[in-house]
């Protein structure tokens, strides 16, 4: 493998695929690294495998199937592709260190496009660490990539487009959930209503129609559904056995061996933060978002961020964003000038904005309920080190000033997940405890290696490091 | 816990502790374990609490297993391969 590339793209979801394809088609040398076995990211997970399963493809829907063309065009391009590879360090000088099959190599990139996408927002409710509790996205991944559906009573809880979509996909494959517990608040619904006219603009109306169709399909189904649900608590000692909650002023309990949680998605921060890219709290999306310009340039020169990792916009917006960062990378490499970039990018810029028109409405309607960002004292916040919100509040009272000091106090964020899951909650709990804003409290400092690799694997690289 | 939508059981086989696991081409180790009816595949180093795959996309690290002698591998990202030796991680690791 060559060790100098015009552009290294990280992540093979819609943004990464579009970026790598565009760069290759424009004659740049480009390599795409991705953790998964095949292209598609999470949204088009298993897109090449499902091509030979027409009934599953049909159940997953036309929007999912549309990812097939994106993957095909990428495969036809000259972009190099290394699936099942783990990028574990990117330096500010754009050296990319990657592990594949137990061996690590490093290479130099002229430009780096981080397209690591989104993750599901952590949903710290009592019992969320019990076996049997998963995310809605995890269940959908099992469906897309392994044709698996629960064969025990299961419950979907939370809010957001993915939850509705997955519930409908479950219906289509004949494995409906026992119940849907919708946590969307009345306040959100009322506040979102005034954003509806703007949401119909551009391509927004398509999303609204799809949403209405999903809701209608669920209404007409036999699935038990509860609205404005609060106080979700998963019961069980060694495994989830049920979920209790409040709805319509009453306490309820439903038996379930699988409980799936979902409160929307947030940008995956790990890679960009480790490089040193600046982030800011986005109140509307209730998450940290990297500071980028319209072309995806981060605060670090030569590090561009494409797709949902730069702020949640959905798969189609991510695809356009991938192309926009590719054109900008070409400009930065002096392969085209600004005027050339603007010409090439005009259609994607328009299309991306058309697909973003619905976002303000969706962000408002599906804003996470306050209890998700302020878990009760007895709820585990850091799953790895098993630290509760109460312990975090106690060290805040003792003078712990922020997330990085909390590592010394409690080891929060120092377990195997390296703060990926607890990071947003730790910052939120400490910000509330000190009554300051999220930007003031900040976030974990993320350091490489971003993935577990052995000391032996690093040692094997030694010769090359000295040669360099 | 889970069933496949079609009858194809798969032609890959690997071991999880003392159990023979049959998987399909393209399954992650975590998906194969869940398909085989296993769920709590790990006990935490801190309190020994049972844990199972949570996110299935490489974020939560709750599916960590030992694979072919290397600990802390993310079962949801690693493809199932014939003859793999997968072991459960239980509690804190012995340092000596």
Q: Does domain A4-119+266-336 have CATH number 1.10.3190.10?
A: no
Secondary structure (3-state) at A443: coil
Domain edges within chain A: 4-119+266-336, 122-263, 374-436
Q: Is A197 on the interface with B (CB under 8 A)?
A: no
What was the pLDDT predicted at A463?
52
C-alpha span between A383 and A77 (Å, rounded):
41
Look at the block and give the residue holding tokens 């929060």. A412
> Cβ–Cβ of A131/B34 closer than 8 Å?
no
B12-88 fold: Ubiquitin-like (UB roll) (3.10.20)
For A270, the token pair is 């790990």
Strands A80-82 and A30-33: parallel
Question: Chain B residues with CB inside 8 Å of A416's CB?
Answer: 61, 64, 72
Is A112 in contact with A302 (CB distance < 8 Å)?
Answer: yes
**Residue B7's pLDDT band (cuts 50, 70, 90):** confident
Alpha helix (H) residue ranges in A157-219: 161-172, 186-193, 196-199, 204-219
A286: closest CA among A316, A318, A311? A311
DSSP states of A368-404: PPHHHHS--TTSEEETTTTEEHHHHHHHHHTT--SHH
Q: Which of A152, A145, A113 is nearest to A32 (CA)?
A: A113
Same fold, A4-119+266-336 and A122-263: yes
Helix (H, G, I), strand (E, B) or coil at A356: helix
Nearest to A138 among B24, B46, B54 (CB): B54
Q: Give B40 to chain A, closest Cα distance, Å.
A: 6
Per-residue pLDDT of chain A (468 residues; tens, 9 = 90+): 679 999 999 999 999 999 999 999 999 999 999 999 999 999 999 999 999 899 999 999 999 999 999 999 999 999 999 999 999 999 999 999 999 988 999 999 999 999 999 999 999 999 999 999 999 999 999 999 999 999 999 999 999 999 999 999 999 999 999 999 999 999 999 999 999 999 999 999 999 999 999 999 999 999 999 999 999 999 999 999 999 999 989 999 999 999 999 999 999 999 999 999 999 999 999 999 999 999 999 999 999 999 999 999 999 999 999 999 999 999 999 999 999 999 999 999 999 999 999 999 999 999 999 889 999 999 999 999 999 999 999 999 999 999 999 999 999 999 999 999 999 999 999 999 999 999 999 999 999 999 999 999 999 886 554 343
Q: Which helix (H) or strand (E) holds A180?
A: strand A179-182
- Among A270, A326, A265, smallest CA distance to A86 is for A270
DSSP string, A280-348: EEETTTTEEEE---TT-B-SSTTEEE-GGGGS---HHHHHHHHHHHHHHHHHHTTSS-HHHHHHHHHHH
A14-25 and A67-76 helices cross at what angle (nearest 10)?
30
What's the CA dihedral at A140, A143, A148, A149 to 10 degrees?
50
The residue of chain B nearest to residue A142, with distances taken between CA atoms, is B31
Residue B9 pLDDT greater than 90, yes or no: no
Strand-strand pairing, B50-51 and B42-43: antiparallel
- Residues A15 and A38: beta-carbon distance below 8 Å: no
Q: What number is the ipTM of this complex?
A: 0.97
Q: Which two tokens stand for residue A313?
A: 């916009």
For range B72-95, the mean pLDDT: 92
Report how many Cβ contacts below 8 Å link chain A to chain B.
132
Eight-class DSSP state of B18: T
Q: Which CATH superfamily is domain A374-436 in?
A: BFD-like [2Fe-2S]-binding domain (1.10.10.1100)
CA atoms within 13 A on the CB side of A132: 23
What CATH number has the domain spanning A122-263? Answer: 3.50.50.60
Which residues in chain B (9-28) have CB-CB distances under 8 A to chain A? 24, 26-28
In this structure, are residues A260 and A165 in contact, taking their beta carbons and an 8 Å threshold? no
DSSP A70-109: HHHHHHHS--EEE-SEEEEEE-TT-EEEEEETTEEEEEEE
Residue among B1, B28, B32 minimizing CB distance to A257: B1
CB contact under 8 A, A258 and B1: yes
Q: Which residue has the tokens 């374990």?
A: B33
Q: Report yes or no: A182 and A366 within 8 Å, Cβ to Cβ.
A: no
Q: CB neighbours of A415 closer than 8 A, spacing ≥ 6?
A: A382, A383, A384, A385, B61
| B62 contact A CB<8A | yes
Element (H, E) at A31: strand A30-33
């Amino acid at each position: 493998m060559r060790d100098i590339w015009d552009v290294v793209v990280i992540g093979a979801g819609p943004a990464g695929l579009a970026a790598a394809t565009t760069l290759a088609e424009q004659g740049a040398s480009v390599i795409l690294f991705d953790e998964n076995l095949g292209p598609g990211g999470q949204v088009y997970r298993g897109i090449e495998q499902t091509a030979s399963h027409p009934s599953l493809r049909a159940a997953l829907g036309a929007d999912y199937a549309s990812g097939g063309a994106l993957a095909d065009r990428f495969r036809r391009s000259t972009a190099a592709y290394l699936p099942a590879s783990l990028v574990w360090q990117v330096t500010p000088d754009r050296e990319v260190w990657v592990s594949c099959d137990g061996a690590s190599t490093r290479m130099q990139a002229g430009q780096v496009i981080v397209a690591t996408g989104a993750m599901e927002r952590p949903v710290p409710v009592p019992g969320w660490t019990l076996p049997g509790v998963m995310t809605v996205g995890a269940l959908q991944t099992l469906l897309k990539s392994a044709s698996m559906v629960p064969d025990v009573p299961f419950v979907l809880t939370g809010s957001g487009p993915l939850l509705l979509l997955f519930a409908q996909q479950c219906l289509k494959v004949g494995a409906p959930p026992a119940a849907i517990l919708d946590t969307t608040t009345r306040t959100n619904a009322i506040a979102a209503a005034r954003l509806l006219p703007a949401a119909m603009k551009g391509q927004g109306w398509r999303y609204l129609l799809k949403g209405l169709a999903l809701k209608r399909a669920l209404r007409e189904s036999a699935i038990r559904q509860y609205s404005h649900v609060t106080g979700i608590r998963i019961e069980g000692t060694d495994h989830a056995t049920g979920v209790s909650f409040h709805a319509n002023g009453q306490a309820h309990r439903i038996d379930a061996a699988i409980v799936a949680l979902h409160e929307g998605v947030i940008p995956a921060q790990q890679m960009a933060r480790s490089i040193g890219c600046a982030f800011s709290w986005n109140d509307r999306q209730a998450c940290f978002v990297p500071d980028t310009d319209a072309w995806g340039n981060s605060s670090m020169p030569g590090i561009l961020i494409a797709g949902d990792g730069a702020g949640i916009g959905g798969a189609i917006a991510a695809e356009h964003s991938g192309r926009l960062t590719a054109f900008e990378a070409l400009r930065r490499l002096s392969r085209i000038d600004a005027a050339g970039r603007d010409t090439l990018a005009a259609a994607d810029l328009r299309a991306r904005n058309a697909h973003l028109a619905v976002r303000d409405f969706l962000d408002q309607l599906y804003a996470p309920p306050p209890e998700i960002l302020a878990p009760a004292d007895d709820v585990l916040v850091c799953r790895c080190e098993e630290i509760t919100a109460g312990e975090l509040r106690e060290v805040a009272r003792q003078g712990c000033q922020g997330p990085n000091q909390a590592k010394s106090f409690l080891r929060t964020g120092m377990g195997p997940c390296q703060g990926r899951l607890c990071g947003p909650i730790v910052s939120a709990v400490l910000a509330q405890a000190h009554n300051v804003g999220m930007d003031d409290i900040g976030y974990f400092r993320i350091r490489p290696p971003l993935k577990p690799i052995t000391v032996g694997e690093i040692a094997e690289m030694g010769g090359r490091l000295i040669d360099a | 816990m889970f069933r496949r939508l079609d009858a194809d059981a798969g032609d890959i086989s690997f071991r999880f502790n003392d159990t023979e696991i049959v998987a399909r081409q393209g399954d992650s180790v975590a998906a194969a374990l869940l398909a085989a009816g296993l769920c709590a595949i790990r006990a935490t180093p801190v309190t020994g609490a049972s844990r199972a795959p949570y996110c299935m996309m490489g974020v939560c690290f709750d599916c960590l297993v030992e694979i072919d002698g290397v600990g802390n591998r993310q079962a949801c990202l690693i493809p199932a391969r014939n003859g793999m030796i997968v072991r459960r991680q239980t509690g804190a690791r012995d340092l000596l």
